[in-house]
Amino acid sequence: MKNFKINHRESSGLDVLDLHGELDAHTASQLEESLKLLIDSNKSSIIVNCSELDYIASAGLGVFMAYIEDVRSTGGDIKLTNMNERVYNVFDLLGFPTLYDILEDERDAIEQFSKEN
Amino acid sequence: MNKTATYQIKVTASTENLAEVRKFVALHAKRQGFTEEQISDLQLAVDEAYTNIIKHAYQNNKNEHVEINLSFDSDKLCISLFDSGNSFSPKNYNLPDIQKKIEERKRGGMGVYLIHRLMDSVSYHAKADKNEIRLCKNRN
């Protein structure tokens, strides 16, 4: 049963990962592979669009924790966008909004990146 | 509503079953009149507890089993997860220092905190052949 899927695309020269479905301890490895692939090819300005993400458990948040320093140390960032309330609530319970750029819309992230670079 | 209703599922200790376990909890909680928000909390709490059992009690041995019981009464739902692996009972329920973990490129250690935030009571019972983690959430 496939309950999680990632699409990779480019938007305004930035890399965007679209997450679909449920991100838990089982599906987190897929996200990990996608992020690794980008980082290994020196992509460090990454947007993760969560508009189709229905669910997240702490294992999913763990993936973002493991790679954020790598991208920030090369001047990049991982910005998270378009979360539904339920998904945002999990990030919020763990205090992520003060440590990560979590934005309303993908366009906000593109704008933010253009200001930073 | 005074009658106690119980439901049970037994699964192997594998993250492959996480989605099925979440569905099982959501199905019965919905039938019992829990709100969407409460159901989200219940699903996440049971997910985190089951994931911890897979990792810490069974060290990812997929041949082992976890039994999950739901027990509804007039004012609450209690979810019990039983395993026969290494017993563990976390001492620290505080918010983990995420900034520090990020700097050290560490992850994990967030599940226990979430479970305590999402549920009204959490208790651990270690017996000779079985460990139980019991998660309860009030209807109101």
Interface residues of B toward A, Cβ cutoff 8 Å, are: 15-16, 18-19, 22, 40, 43-44, 47-48, 51, 54-55, 95-96, 98-99, 101-103, 105-108, 110-111, 113-114, 117
* Domain segments of chain B as ranges: 5-138
Check if A72 contacts B (Cβ < 8 Å): no
A65 chain-B contacts, CB cut-off 8 A: 98, 101-102, 105-107
- CA pair distance A103, A14, nearest whole angstrom: 16
Q: Which residue of A has its CA nearest to B110?
A: A58
- pLDDT tens across B42-70, in order? 999 999 999 999 999 999 999 999 999 99
- pLDDT tens across B82-101, in order? 999 998 777 778 889 999 99
Query: Do the strands B76-83 and B65-72 form a parallel or antiparallel pair, or are they unpaired?
Result: antiparallel
Does position A1 have pLDDT exceeding 70, yes or no? Answer: no
User: A65 to chain B nearest CA, in Å?
Assistant: 5
- pLDDT tens across A26-75, in order? 999 999 999 999 999 999 999 999 999 999 999 999 999 999 999 999 99
User: ipTM for the complex?
Assistant: 0.94
CB contact under 8 Å between A61 and B15, yes or no, is: no
Containing H/E element for A47? strand A45-56
User: B132 to chain A nearest CA, in Å?
Assistant: 21
Of B39, B41, B32, B115, the residue nearest B81 (C-alpha): B115
Query: Do the strands B76-83 and B5-12 form a parallel or antiparallel pair, or are they unpaired?
Result: unpaired
Express as a percent the part of chain B with pLDDT over 70: 99
Question: What's the pTM?
Answer: 0.95
* Domain segments of chain A as ranges: 4-116
Architecture of the B5-138 domain: 2-Layer Sandwich (3.30)
B110 chain-A contacts, CB cut-off 8 A: 58, 61-62, 94
B55 chain-A contacts, CB cut-off 8 A: 25
At the topology level, CATH places domain A4-116 in Transcription Regulator spoIIAA (3.30.750)
